[in-house]
Structure 1
Amino acid sequence: MKLSLSVPVEEEFDAEAARLIDARLASRLSEKDAELFDGAADAADRMGWVDLPQQAAELLDEIESLRARLQEQGLRTISLAGMGGSSLAPEVMAQTADVRLEIVDSTDPNQVAEAIGTDLEHTVLIIASKSGTTVETDSIRRSFAAAFEEIDIDPASRMIAITDPGTELETLAADQGFLATFLADPTVGGRFSALSAFGLVPAGLAGADVRGIVAEAAEAAADLSIDNLDNPALRFGAWLSIAHARTTEKLVLAETSPQLDGLGAWVEQLVAESLGKDGQGILPVVVDSPAEIGFSDARADALLCLLGPSAEDAELGAPSGFEATITGELGELFLFWEFATAIAGYGIGVNPFDQPDVEAAKAQARHLLDGPDSGTSEQARFREGNIDVLEVVDEATDLVGALQELFSQVDEYGYVGIQAYLDRIADAEAEGLRPLVSTHAGVQTTFGFGPRYLHSTGQYHKGGHPNGVFLQITGEARTDLSVPGRDFGFAQLQRAQAAGDAAVLIEKGRPVLRLHLLDRACGLEQLREAVGSISPHHHYGHD
């Protein structure tokens, strides 16, 4: 792989790189030395990722054998119920290989219903969960099982489990006689699991060349373990560390090669969840192309990272002076980013293997689901057109005023996080809000579909730099879908997850504007018009 870096102050970079080399950081990571992170239990129990490429031979054989069996049975549609680290890596592998892998990582009832209704007679469902109890994957499994039964197919004959040893999912798979069960290495954390069963099994069964991906990673492993500047992960980790020390903590990621389609979303999850804690961290901002990096008027708080060769036509150049281009094969890039992120965690001073703020939103969502209204009967502050405004940050009485109040709360070096609890496929146009809000709020802006982002940037939102404000969007369900064996449906679960995360953010002092679209398409258009009516770049309030 190739890495080029632009650093504004070379002596700072040289000093940080020397510090990391003196600590033997890269080689000690490859030796699984948890003392690098003060012996933290999460570090000691989460170092198995470093040698996954060397351990994969038997797993690859099992994947190829199972894929042949599925093809013999005419099972051609591979659906994956998994969240965050259990879905993003196989999604990248499948997109890169241009093979079809249906990712079901939503609680939007329409999106789940569409997934179930797509070629069910020829479908295999993979349920991927490290804990074995993830509410989204369990709910999706229950709904697929009911649908299989309706067409006289034994659900267990169409289900594959990927989980850690000893989980409820392993027990369920054994009791029901699932088609196959893959037990992953429990010492590999979810976001570092790209080269484990969680990444390789779904992608391989869908037809991606996972053997080639593992070989690419294995070939890169030696270079990523050396303690000198020939190690690209060490150089990049030092780059992130000194940028963070200079309060340049937004990592703008632009894919420049169709061969790396979707890599930005995987990197976003890895970096945000690993580094965003203790009031520190690096916030990834995934943009559609280098032409959309928005640096002409942005504050000098961002690093620019191109995933792939430099784009010839884009006028690049981060005002902070931090700019990088990374090229390579997918397997080596997976391992590179894992090493670089762990190295940056050491440099910044955080444990990259824990996620202390993730559970709070889950707990709040469970509390709302157990309540009498399951989070679905909230009283709106006011209604305007196709939008109910559920929560404002001050005293606004109209939509434009509410948006202006939200934007006015953003520090000059802060960010806006857009959280869209919508159908990631049918409502994909919502993603167009990100560049629009960035322009009119005048700061870097992220976008995530919920609850997908809860397993990704959600940790940073609550544990990272406390300079974010949040625009949360929910929508009236086009249809509802019950969760068999539960006293709630997907619409209730989705609304409870949104309300739960908002409650935790507000409790932590993060400003949140919550909007509910009564008609999704019309509401999104109304919201775009409202954002567009605000004068650009003059709404950050605090230095």
Structure 2
Amino acid sequence: MTQTAETPPGLYVRMAPDDAAAVEARLEWARDQDLARRMWAKDHTLWGPEPEEISNRLGWLSIAGDMLAGLGELEAFVEGVGRDGFTDVALLGMGGSSLAPEVLRLSFGTAPGYLQLRVVDSTHPDEVGAVADELPLERTLFVVSSKSGGTLETRSLYAYFRSLVDDGSHFVAITDPGTSLEDLAAKGGFRHTFYGDPAIGGRYSALSAFGVVPAALMGIDVRELLGRAELAARAAQAAEPEDNAALWLGVAIGELARRGRDKLTFVTSEPVSSFGLWAEQLVAESTGKGGTGVVPVAGEPLGAPSSYGDDRVFAHIRNSARPDEELEARMDALAEAGHPVMTVAVRDAADLGGHFFSWEFAVAAAGAVLGINAFDQPNVQEAKDRATETIEAFKRDGSFPETSPD
């Protein structure tokens, strides 16, 4: 048995009565906590006791408007690149610096007269060598993208491609102010450096320079993309959950995870079928810590309702302009079997702007429900630190240090 929940416009949710009752109780908690207003007020106590660390990671709430205000510089840059004969752009980056551009590439493609984007996020020698062979290096712009400026893989990729193209005008940096990459760009004669917002973590940076600069180079209408993000942001300011789809979605995801339904399974449609690539990192890194969290599942072939246990929640990104009748029937079957199915609509690829924002807001709200800091990344940083220590040990000793599994 299943029932349809009362939800804000743009969100359609079906779930079993016991799950629905638990979510409704948690929504009442969100009202009592004044959750939406406190999120916009950057109240760090929603996520943890570290006021500076959390409050300084909420720049994504207003980044769409900030980017819109400064688009003139980017538009002039893109025009200049075209005049100078560039036809291709290779983005060198990892994780949050590469996932949003890749989703935008797969969703929009390249507009006529703009640059073909190639995301280079592997350090495997064969893959990197194949990219170098395929690109017209004399007409390729290389975007070196790293928030921290010191991402080892990104810096290694830069060193390789700079050895092939020793002309700084072929290189652009995207990084936060004051990083080592900013210094490298200045010393290396880069064509330009675009700056990220230090108050935004990598996985929340899709609507900042890290996503918008590659989008503009592909000829995507970034004013429309950011405009739809602005509309989503305004909608997310509603105090009441029944008027705030992003808040409702996040509270439901968090409460269902508390009840053991912690496998958030993305089912996506064209033109944004790749959306799960980006959402996967956002959900995993934001919620997976402290022995709790939500496990995102993206790109999994959709099975029969009986093949799933009671740990699943399905997030259906539905093309409202061209519905897939077969997929709709399969989602109906999942809902009828008692699996929670939360459906949000897209009209076209430009709706990605709104969905980037809405899902960031939802995941932050889910973190508040779960009682975790949605903005730190202790295990990610630990992995980076250990990688750096290992490389330094190899440089010093000529061999890798011995390790044992913990």
TM-score w.r.t. the length of structure 1 is 0.66
Partner of residue 13, structure 2:
5
> CA offset at residue 311 of structure 1?
4.1
Partner of residue 264, structure 1:
276
Structure 1 residue ranges (4+ consecutive) displaced by more than 4 angstroms after TM superposition:
none
SS in structure 2 of the partner of residue 324 of structure 1 = strand
Partner of residue 46, structure 1:
57
- In 2, the alpha carbon distance for the partners of 1:356 and 1:320 equals 35
1:209 aligns with 2:221: yes
- In 2, the alpha carbon distance for the partners of 1:94 and 1:354 equals 28
Conserved? CA contact 2:109–2:218, under 8 Å = no
Q: In structure 1, which of residues 111, 116, 119 is the aligned counterpart of residue 127 of structure 2? A: 111
Partner of residue 230, structure 2:
218
- In 2, the alpha carbon distance for the partners of 1:313 and 1:186 equals 44
Name the structure where helix makes up a greater proportion of residues: 2
- In 1, the alpha carbon distance for the partners of 2:393 and 2:303 equals 43
Q: In structure 1, which of residues 319, 326, 334 is the aligned counterpart of residue 344 of structure 2? A: 326
Residue type of the partner of 1:24?
Answer: D
> CA offset at residue 359 of structure 1?
2.4
Partner of residue 210, structure 2:
198
> CA offset at residue 66 of structure 1?
0.8
Partner of residue 41, structure 2:
31
Runs of at least 5 residues in structure 2 that lack an aligned partner in the other structure = 1-8, 111-115
Any idea what the Cα deviations from partners look like across 1:160-206, whole Å, max 9, x if unmatched? 11111111111111222210001111101111111111110111112
- In 1, the alpha carbon distance for the partners of 2:150 and 2:36 equals 34
Any idea what the Cα deviations from partners look like across 1:374-420, whole Å, max 9, x if unmatched? 9xxxxxxxxxxxxxxxxxxxxxxxxxxxxxxxxxxxxxxxxxxxxxx
SS in structure 1 of the partner of residue 165 of structure 2 = helix
Partner of residue 141, structure 1:
158
- In 2, the alpha carbon distance for the partners of 1:303 and 1:102 equals 33
Conserved? CA contact 2:11–2:342, under 8 Å = yes
Conserved? CA contact 1:248–1:320, under 8 Å = no
Partner of residue 429, structure 1:
none
CA RMSD of aligned residues (A): 2.4
SS in structure 2 of the partner of residue 19 of structure 1 = helix
- In 2, the alpha carbon distance for the partners of 1:141 and 1:159 equals 9
- In 1, the alpha carbon distance for the partners of 2:352 and 2:38 equals 24
What is the percentage of aligned positions where both structures have the same residue?
37
- In 1, the alpha carbon distance for the partners of 2:338 and 2:310 equals 5
Conserved? CA contact 1:5–1:324, under 8 Å = yes
* Residue 52 to residue 293, structure 1, CA distance change in 2 (3 Å): farther
* Residue 233 to residue 307, structure 1, CA distance change in 2 (3 Å): same
Q: In structure 2, which of residues 83, 86, 95 is the aligned counterpart of residue 75 of structure 1? A: 86
Partner of residue 231, structure 1:
244
Any idea what the Cα deviations from partners look like across 1:346-372, whole Å, max 9, x if unmatched? 001110000011123233333443456
Partner of residue 357, structure 1:
379
Residue type of the partner of 1:227?
Answer: A
- In 2, the alpha carbon distance for the partners of 1:75 and 1:259 equals 27
- In 1, the alpha carbon distance for the partners of 2:324 and 2:208 equals 32
- In 2, the alpha carbon distance for the partners of 1:293 and 1:64 equals 45
Any idea what the Cα deviations from partners look like across 1:87-111, whole Å, max 9, x if unmatched? 1112212222112311011111111
Partner of residue 102, structure 2:
91
Conserved? CA contact 1:301–1:320, under 8 Å = no
- In 1, the alpha carbon distance for the partners of 2:299 and 2:185 equals 39
Residue type of the partner of 2:356?
Answer: F
Higher RCO, 1 vs 2 (CA within 8 Å, ≥6 residues apart): 2
> CA offset at residue 298 of structure 1?
2.5
Partner of residue 431, structure 1:
none
Q: In structure 2, which of residues 292, 296, 301 is the aligned counterpart of residue 280 of structure 1? A: 292
Residue type of the partner of 1:366?
Answer: T
Conserved? CA contact 2:68–2:226, under 8 Å = no
May I ask how many residue pairs the two structures share in their alignment? 376
- In 2, the alpha carbon distance for the partners of 1:293 and 1:121 equals 47
